[in-house]
Structure 1
Amino acid sequence: MSAAILSRRGFISASLLAGGGLLFDLNMPVARAADGTPVILTAFIRILPDNRVVIGAKNAEIGQGAKTMLPMLIAEELDVDWSQVTIEQTHAEAKIFGGQSAGGSRTTPREWLPTRQAGAAARAMLVAAAAQSWGVAPDTLRTGSGKVTDPASGKTMPYAALAAAAAKLPAPDPAMLKLKDPASFRIIGQSVVGVDTPGIAAGKPLFGIDFKLPGMLYAVLETCPAHGGTYKSANLDAVKALPGIAHVLTIKGDGTPESGFDGVAILSKSWWTANQARDMLKVDWDVGAVSSFSTEAYAAQAAARRKGKADGDIVRTGDVDAAFAAAAKTVSADYDYPFLAHGTLEPQNCTALFKDGSIEIWAPTQNPESGRALVAKTLNLPPEKIRINFTRIGGGFGRRLMNDYMVQAAAIAAQVPGVPVKLLWNRQQDMQRDFYRPAGWHGFRAALDKGGKLTAFHDHFVTFGKDGKPVRSAELPASELPAGLIDAVLLEQSFLTTNMPTGWLRAPGSNALAFVYQAFLDEVAQATGKDLPTLMLELLGDPKELARGPNGPPFVTERAKGVIRKAVAMGGWADRKTLPKGTGKGFAFYYSHMGYFAEVLEVTIVDGMPKVKTVWVAGDVGSQIINPINALHQAQGSVIEGLGQALAGQQITQVAGAVEQANYDTHPFLRINDAPEIIVEFVKTDYPPTGLGEPALPPVIPALVNAIHAATGKRIRTLPITAEMLA
């Protein structure tokens, strides 16, 4: 954001509201995206006649705190008290509000400067109005608690009293905006309860699943159990004749999971009635092209491919073959992990009303503009004929970056114009129609010289792909450590085919790669007679910055070393050998979504299974923790989710192209009685703040399996962990 480009034209406009309030419409081209187009921030700040302030929250809220955090930034620079602020959710409209997606822990780094500038711009206009009224220089005035004060005369005016004058002033010069010194922050850095938390605790209808409209019909949608199967025929008339059924409709998909596969929709005034009728539906699906896919077949294919020649290189540096030939010792191991479902607590849902050639949508979406484009294509509508309203999201974790449920609801609503339609999946459908975290298999080798130094590293990664490219979320970055830290590195890949839709799961890619890389490096460290923190610190070496792709900031080795040292100090790493038999500590470090995290975990084997006692988390997400209580919860939630992926028995398996798991009993999540104590501390560094929704998750899984090895001597190289692995 240091290269932000501000534009005076269209930067800010102000207008009077009825009753004397002031509306600031802030439109700031502030930076350039990867494709060179401007990233626009537009927010609304309304100052009401009683000096209350209404701030528009423009991003989707999935529990990551953006609906509270972004207004905090505006309120800080506007210099009002938090008690004066009311927050309103905006609708989704990129042309008005700019980027509104929620994913990749990008909200904080993307909005940190421009959102603060929005508040500072409004404050500058109010100060200028006061200076003009009093005949003094603006820089002699002070602000606070929604008032402008002249220290010399003692005069004070609330912002509301300056509304009329401020509305007549020209926009401020962006180059002259002065942001607050962090030392003077009164809102940023303080723990603020989420704006929706009281309503959630009171059971208020905030989520998409709660939304209702008068005259609304509920829809259930049956699709082929084997992903990609196509519709042939069904007993539509028999189902339509059932009591309470309003419509039975067929939906034609375009063959892609994003736009939706073929399906049969059943509509009723009662969701229960529609869902019961679904059990009576008999559909003949054509599954010839997709019935051969199975978990057993994938495993056999991967085992064969991993031993053979790879399809291609991801990165090759140095003379890997020569380094292995000259090695004093080599270490090798095979690792793998399964498909995973998101399992959001709130099943996928969407409400749509098609009327007069336009459609209005109420959706718990993380990525509204993608949904708009898909709906426009499906219904052959101009994008401006589609209005998308945010509902709060009952669990996203990346699942709601995909908008298949929005497209399906729109396609159904378009067949019953003028009638609101609410599509709601049941739990089985939600589990079996996901965009899954892809499975993967890794064949590792490491070469060590006589002094125990790592001289070469090789990973043959087998995953899923098509046309020479990995499927969504199956990418292995060329910068995956230890690449960039040693001379000879070969990362190569081979592809299997699948009918499984894949997608981003919290800390995409990293949630799996951290496990296999940090667990294998723990094996390497043991072979050198060292522990993993020591090996990592040696590999990181002298201070340097490593490129991490064309769009991201560089990887700073000193930041990594900082959290490693912090975590081992927090977790009493030096005393780990004094633990009783059957108890062990493990360590892992990972860089994910611009966050540096190291974690130490203590585990005890109880009745043949690991019981995690404590996790110590050290994180570096830059110079400022905007909302400390939310930051703590994000880190703790990430750790719990990661432990669930490893310990709870989570995996998605296929037979004849269809997913077997149907509910939380077969794809379980960590229960509260299994949650450990989680101690979180942040290492503040002189870098812009970055996001916290994801980077604390990846290290906990390798820290767990490394702790299990310390406690039992057994290596866990596949997930999920079972009692048989420790027997």
Structure 2
Amino acid sequence: MVKRRTVLWGGVATAGALVIGWGALPPRQRLRTGQPLPTAGGQAALNGWLKIGADNSVTVMMAKAEMGQGTHTGLAAILAEELDADWPQLRLEMAPIDDIYNNLATVVDGLHFHPDNDGSIKAVAGWLTAKTMREVGVMMTGGSSSIKDLWLPMREAGASARAMLVRAAAAQWNVQAAECTVQAGVVEHAAGQRASFGELAALAAQQPLPGKVVLKEAAQFRLIGKPLTRIEARSKLDGTAVFGIDANPPGLLHAAVVMCPTRGGKLLRMDAAAAEKLPGVKKVLAVDALNGGTGAVAVIADTPWHARKAAATVTVEWDHGPAAALSSAAVYEQLAQALDQAKGFGYHQSGDAPAAMQGAARTITADYRAPYLAHAALEPINCTVQFKDGAATVWTSTQVPDLARAAAAKVLGIAEDKVEVRQLLLGGGFGRRLEVDYVAQAAAIARAADGAPVQTLWTREQDTQHDFYRPACMARFKAGFDASGKLVAWDNLSVGQAIVPQVLGRIFGLPGAGPDKTTSEGAFDQPYEWPHARIAHEIVALPLPVGFWRSVGHSHQAFFKESFMDEAAAAAGQDPVAFRAGLLQKHPRHLQVLQKAAELAGWGQPLAADASGAKRARGIALHQSFGSIVAQVAEVSVAADSKAIRVHRVVCVIDCGAAINPNLITQQMESAVVFGLTAALHGEITVDKGQVQQANFHDYPLLRMADCPRTEVHIVPSAEPPEGVGEPGVPPIAPAVANAVFALTGQRLRSLPLRLA
């Protein structure tokens, strides 16, 4: 008998007391959509997450974007587990826009509470935030939240559908439902009757949704925890996978854009006479700066080549806007001034840091810096829109389909229910496709196409130079030690732009208010048991637009924090692993991850020189982000002539709670190491006269295959609920490399990208 856990999702059980008021109730059910799911070919919808066909196929309604992270495979496995479906039965279909698919987890996690905080204020705030997001939230893929957000809804959907199938079989056979069992897509009765899901689907859909569902115990999982093959792998191998850039509706036209070279600028005037005379050109038009984007001229033509050729002949005059005088030097000067003058908003305080610092026998201090970064996804920005007969269809790769729909509807002046969004695979996202500027721009262009569908496609240069960048940031640290070398005080102030207020402004037209957790995440929300600590951030206003970038604030704050942690260890005369371990005595999960990474990497054992005679050293970093704990050890050498840093080996240990699919976790850790190393060794966006200086991969390079390290991933077994995986592997790699460089050369690298003098 499979043991299951009962979940009441229709209300709350109370012991002799009546709970009154909306605020006391849990978030409303996430099983029924507002409108019935569309069905075809003998399908029956059993709830908002799955349809079963007469051919015995099980179609999972997918509410999250697939951009290489394996979300579709992981979520399908969770639902199939509780449904007791056979894995080959499963199919995927992108979910319609509906409130049951809103992302609750990301916004709840965005509340600026320390992970160790288990107080009632945090609990109530999270409860009310989840309830609110269920009603007025956003369908979003981001924040490494897909599995975490849908862990229970997908299980409940599978379990409730399973119960309906069993009831249908019991009614058909005139037996008790408790006498029936389910395995691999078949319902059976002890007397010998058996029926496939497909045979029972129509009758099952007529059964009422059960008031409670019973979930499996972890020991009975057949699919969860197994290295299942990615569900979209075959289509990517045989070329049938359809990404945003592959949209090709009948009669497709193509648009090329010329955008103001200064980010945020707009068009003053243009002369399109020459372009309009060229072959294949249908129309030339001006496009406003929409949703935080940049003003542009667009050329619609028969082919991408005709459009691009004609766009190059348009003469334009620009209003370069408030960023026209901006330079990288000015950015860092302003950040440095803020670092000297500001006190910042305090995100975490323990004890009395100023007094402890004043009474310390010894103190050390250091400043760190990180640059702007572009997303540089391999699929450049694109969107295809058809506006015809007062309705629109949008084909795009997006992380926010409902916001994309709203942006298109606003530009076209129609109701949102007149816009159909067809979500396609993403050739990388990393947070860039949380924005809707490109959707609004494409809709504005399609409005002028007389009913024909138009694909707007940016060049690589436009993608790089018209991004919403990872913020530049600076941080100042100070540590105090007593006479025996024990750390007694920790002070950290960082300065930089805030992302959330900008996003609220350009997408919703709302003013940002209150602290933005993303500015200080990775600094204040860490497990270290500092006796006295103060961690703060000061928001600095700058004209270059910023956005969510893979691992967001953790991406640079981890570099700052873990590098200075090594500095503190050196000042205390302790081994970096032992020093960290001493500050984790009340955090056994973190301590286990740290020690396992050190063990697997051979920490403390001598390293032989490589074939060229170059010496090697190891560096370590530990970081918690998106609910997961990751430690990485980097094995590094430095070229004697060029001083180039080479990373040969990375040992990565992760505790992400329950491992839904070990293959996907390993792939994401390997991906994160390469992504993080690209940023650590090469990534830097610079600005001169308001214009981004980098354009393509020749001056904004990716890590090459030949330079990728051997990456060894170890997943810590856990019975805890699943946490984030897509982003947590990025933050530790830069400090691990920097700490290895110090161990090898004695030189502290406090600025990204990492370069030796």
TM-score, normalized by length of structure 1?
Answer: 0.89
Q: Which amino acid aligns with 2:140?
A: S
CA contact (8 A) 1:583 1:710 kept: no
Query: Once the 2 structures are TM-superposed, how far is the Cα of residue 496 of structure 1 from its aligned partner?
Result: 3.8
Q: Give the whole-Å Cα distance in 1 for the aligned partners of 2:37 and 2:332.
A: 64
In structure 2, list runs of 5 or more residues that go unmatched: 12-27, 104-138, 502-510
Is it true that 1:159 corresponds to 2:197 in the alignment?
yes
Q: Which amino acid aligns with 1:721?
A: L
Q: Name which of 42, 46, 49 aligns with 2:52.
A: 46
Q: Which amino acid aligns with 1:197?
A: A
**Deviation readout 1:437-476 (Å, 9 max, x if unpaired):** 0111111111111122221112231213599979988611
Q: Find the counterpart in structure 2 of residue 430 from structure 1.
A: 463
Query: Once the 2 structures are TM-superposed, how far is the Cα of residue 313 of structure 1 from its aligned partner?
Result: 4.3
Q: Which amino acid aligns with 2:715?
A: F
Cα distance change on mapping 1:401 and 1:11 into 2, 3 Å: closer
Q: Find the counterpart in structure 1 of residue 697 from structure 2.
A: 664
CA contact (8 A) 1:217 1:422 kept: yes
2:659 is paired with a residue whose SS is coil
CA contact (8 A) 2:522 2:553 kept: no
Q: Find the counterpart in structure 2 of residue 239 from structure 1.
A: 275
Q: Which amino acid aligns with 1:644?
A: T
CA contact (8 A) 2:523 2:535 kept: no
Q: Give the whole-Å Cα distance in 1 for the aligned partners of 2:708 and 2:263.
A: 34
Query: Once the 2 structures are TM-superposed, how far is the Cα of residue 196 of structure 1 from its aligned partner?
Result: 2.2
Q: Name which of 154, 161, 177 aligns with 1:115.
A: 154
User: How large is the RMSD of aligned CA atoms in angstroms?
Assistant: 2.7
Q: Find the counterpart in structure 2 of residue 393 from structure 1.
A: 426
Q: Which amino acid aligns with 1:573?
A: W
CA contact (8 A) 1:58 1:67 kept: no
Q: Find the counterpart in structure 2 of residue 693 from structure 1.
A: 726
Q: Give the whole-Å Cα distance in 1 for the aligned partners of 2:626 and 2:217.
A: 27
CA contact (8 A) 2:673 2:733 kept: yes
Q: Find the counterpart in structure 1 of residue 654 from structure 2.
A: 619
Q: Name which of 223, 229, 243 aligns with 1:207.
A: 243
CA contact (8 A) 2:521 2:557 kept: no
Cα distance change on mapping 1:17 and 1:592 into 2, 3 Å: closer
Query: Once the 2 structures are TM-superposed, how far is the Cα of residue 579 of structure 1 from its aligned partner?
Result: 7.4
Query: Once the 2 structures are TM-superposed, how far is the Cα of residue 44 of structure 1 from its aligned partner?
Result: 2.5
Q: Give the whole-Å Cα distance in 2 for the aligned partners of 1:637 and 1:690.
A: 17
Q: Give the whole-Å Cα distance in 1 for the aligned partners of 2:537 and 2:37.
A: 58
Q: Name which of 12, 19, 23 aligns with 2:44.
A: 23
CA contact (8 A) 1:91 1:389 kept: no
Q: Which amino acid aligns with 2:75?
A: L
Q: Find the counterpart in structure 2 of residue 628 from structure 1.
A: 662
Query: Once the 2 structures are TM-superposed, how far is the Cα of residue 9 of structure 1 from its aligned partner?
Result: 8.5
1:573 is paired with a residue whose SS is coil
Is it true that 1:645 corresponds to 2:679 in the alignment?
yes
Query: Once the 2 structures are TM-superposed, how far is the Cα of residue 312 of structure 1 from its aligned partner?
Result: 5.0
Q: Give the whole-Å Cα distance in 2 for the aligned partners of 1:2 and 1:277.
A: 64
Identify which range, 414-423 or 9-18, moves more after superposition: 9-18
Q: Find the counterpart in structure 2 of residue 294 from structure 1.
A: 327
Q: Find the counterpart in structure 1 of residue 637 from structure 2.
A: 604
CA contact (8 A) 2:597 2:651 kept: yes
**Deviation readout 1:629-660 (Å, 9 max, x if unpaired):** 1111111100111111112x210000001100
Q: Find the counterpart in structure 2 of residue 93 from structure 1.
A: 97
CA contact (8 A) 2:351 2:532 kept: yes
**Deviation readout 1:49-69 (Å, 9 max, x if unpaired):** x32333332321111112222
Q: Which amino acid aligns with 1:44?
A: L
Q: Give the whole-Å Cα distance in 2 for the aligned partners of 1:165 and 1:464.
A: 56
Q: Which amino acid aligns with 1:156?
A: R
CA contact (8 A) 1:252 1:261 kept: yes
Is it true that 1:521 corresponds to 2:565 in the alignment?
yes
Q: Find the counterpart in structure 1 of residue 25 from structure 2.
A: none
1:574 is paired with a residue whose SS is coil
Query: Once the 2 structures are TM-superposed, how far is the Cα of residue 287 of structure 1 from its aligned partner?
Result: 2.1
Query: Once the 2 structures are TM-superposed, how far is the Cα of residue 672 of structure 1 from its aligned partner?
Result: 0.7
CA contact (8 A) 1:437 1:473 kept: no
2:255 is paired with a residue whose SS is strand
Query: Once the 2 structures are TM-superposed, how far is the Cα of residue 595 of structure 1 from its aligned partner?
Result: 0.7
CA contact (8 A) 2:464 2:696 kept: yes
1:416 is paired with a residue whose SS is coil
- Counterpart mapping for 1:218-229 below 5 A: 218-229=254-265
Cα distance change on mapping 1:440 and 1:327 into 2, 3 Å: same
Q: Find the counterpart in structure 2 of residue 575 from structure 1.
A: 605
TM-score, normalized by length of structure 2?
Answer: 0.85
Q: Find the counterpart in structure 1 of residue 583 from structure 2.
A: 539
Q: Give the whole-Å Cα distance in 2 for the aligned partners of 1:10 and 1:706.
A: 46
**Deviation readout 1:233-278 (Å, 9 max, x if unpaired):** 1112232222221100111235x51xx3321111111111211222
Is it true that 1:497 corresponds to 2:527 in the alignment?
no
- Counterpart mapping for 1:315-326 below 5 A: 315-326=348-359
CA contact (8 A) 1:92 1:368 kept: no
**Deviation readout 1:141-173 (Å, 9 max, x if unpaired):** 21112111223x233222233334424432222
**Deviation readout 1:551-607 (Å, 9 max, x if unpaired):** xxxxxx222112112111111113257879731111110001111111111112234
CA contact (8 A) 1:441 1:463 kept: yes
Query: Once the 2 structures are TM-superposed, how far is the Cα of residue 4 of structure 1 from its aligned partner?
Result: 7.3
CA contact (8 A) 2:344 2:493 kept: no
Q: Give the whole-Å Cα distance in 1 for the aligned partners of 2:67 and 2:445.
A: 26
Q: Give the whole-Å Cα distance in 2 for the aligned partners of 1:368 and 1:279.
A: 32
Q: Find the counterpart in structure 2 of residue 139 from structure 1.
A: 178
CA contact (8 A) 2:39 2:45 kept: no
Identify which range, 301-310 or 325-334, moves more after superposition: 301-310
Is it true that 1:560 corresponds to 2:590 in the alignment?
yes
Query: Once the 2 structures are TM-superposed, how far is the Cα of residue 230 of structure 1 from its aligned partner?
Result: 2.3
Q: Name which of 61, 65, 71 aligns with 2:70.
A: 65
CA contact (8 A) 2:519 2:553 kept: yes
Cα distance change on mapping 1:196 and 1:9 into 2, 3 Å: closer
Q: Give the whole-Å Cα distance in 2 for the aligned partners of 1:474 and 1:156.
A: 54
2:68 is paired with a residue whose SS is coil
Identify which range, 119-128 or 371-380, moves more after superposition: 371-380
Identify which range, 326-335 or 184-193, moves more after superposition: 184-193
CA contact (8 A) 2:165 2:197 kept: yes
Cα distance change on mapping 1:221 and 1:12 into 2, 3 Å: closer
Q: Find the counterpart in structure 1 of residue 114 from structure 2.
A: none
Query: Once the 2 structures are TM-superposed, how far is the Cα of residue 321 of structure 1 from its aligned partner?
Result: 2.6
CA contact (8 A) 1:57 1:68 kept: no
Q: Give the whole-Å Cα distance in 2 for the aligned partners of 1:148 and 1:426.
A: 53
2:672 is paired with a residue whose SS is helix
Cα distance change on mapping 1:95 and 1:288 into 2, 3 Å: closer
Q: Which amino acid aligns with 2:66?
A: E
1:629 is paired with a residue whose SS is helix
Is it true that 1:125 corresponds to 2:164 in the alignment?
yes
Q: How many equivalent pairs are there?
A: 684
CA contact (8 A) 1:342 1:436 kept: yes
Identify which range, 130-139 or 321-330, moves more after superposition: 130-139
Q: Give the whole-Å Cα distance in 2 for the aligned partners of 1:334 and 1:12.
A: 52
Query: Once the 2 structures are TM-superposed, how far is the Cα of residue 297 of structure 1 from its aligned partner?
Result: 1.3
Cα distance change on mapping 1:238 and 1:325 into 2, 3 Å: same
